[in-house]
Amino acid sequence: MARKENVKIGVIGISGRGSGMLRELLKVDGVTVPAVCDKYEDRAQNGVEIVKEETGMDAEMYLDYKQLLARDDLDAILCCTTWITHSRIAIDAMRAGKHVAIEVGGSASVEECWQMVRTSQDTGKFCMLLENCCYDRAEMALFNMERQGLFGEVVHVQGGYQHDLREEISMGRENRHGRLFNFQHRNGELYPTHQLGPISKLLSINRGNRFVSLTSMASKSRGLNEWIKKNKGEDYDIANYNFNEGDIVTTMIKCANGETILLTHDCSLPRPYSRGYRIQGTKGIYMEDGDQLYLDGMPADDDTPSWDHSWKDFEPFMEQYEHPLWQKYSREGIHAGHGGMDFLVLSAFADAVKENDGSSPIDVYDTAAWMAITCLSEESIALGSQPVAVPDFTNGMWIDREPYRRGVYCLEEVCNDFFKCENTEEGKE
Ligand SMILES: NC(=O)c1ccc[n+]([C@@H]2O[C@H](COP(=O)([O-])OP(=O)(O)OC[C@H]3O[C@@H](n4cnc5c(N)ncnc54)[C@H](O)[C@@H]3O)[C@@H](O)[C@H]2O)c1
Domain harbouring 404, CATH code: 3.30.360.10
- pLDDT(325) > 90: yes
The whole-angstrom separation of Cα 127 and Cα 93 is 9
The gap from C-alpha 344 to its chain's centroid, in whole angstroms, comes to 12
What's the pLDDT at 130?
98
Where does the pLDDT of residue 233 fall: very low under 50, low under 70, confident under 90, or very high at 90 and above? very high
Mark 52-62 as b/e (b = at least 16 C-beta within 10 Å): eeeeeeebebb
- Residue 310 counted as domain residue: yes
Rounded distance from Cα 101 to ligand 1 centre (Å): 13
List the residue whose alpha carbon is closest to atom 18 of ligand 1: 177
Number of domains in the chain: 1
What's the pLDDT at 234?
96
- Residue 103 counted as domain residue: no
Q: What is the pTM of this model?
A: 0.96
Rounded distance from Cα 46 to ligand 1 centre (Å): 14
At residue 236's C-alpha, the angle toward residues 230 and 238, to 5°, is 100
- Residue 285 counted as domain residue: yes
- Residue 130 counted as domain residue: no
The whole-angstrom separation of Cα 41 and Cα 44 is 5
Averaged confidence pLDDT in the chain: 95
Pocket residues: Cβ below 6 A from ligand 1: 12-13, 15-18, 37-40, 43, 65, 80-83, 85, 103-105, 132, 177-178, 338
- Residue 123 counted as domain residue: no
- Residue 385 counted as domain residue: yes
List the residue whose alpha carbon is closest to atom 24 of ligand 1: 81
Where does the pLDDT of residue 309 fall: very low under 50, low under 70, confident under 90, or very high at 90 and above? confident
- Residue 43 counted as domain residue: no
The whole-angstrom separation of Cα 383 and Cα 397 is 30
- Could you identify the atom of ligand 1 that is nearest to the CA of residue 16? 16
- pLDDT(154) > 60: yes
- Could you identify the atom of ligand 1 that is nearest to the CA of residue 40? 37
- Could you identify the atom of ligand 1 that is nearest to the CA of residue 88? 31
Instruction: Enumerate residues 6+ apart whose C-beta is below 8 A from 402.
Output: none
- Residue 427 counted as domain residue: no
What is the span of the domain harbouring residue 283? 141-320+364-417
List the residue whose alpha carbon is closest to atom 22 of ligand 1: 81
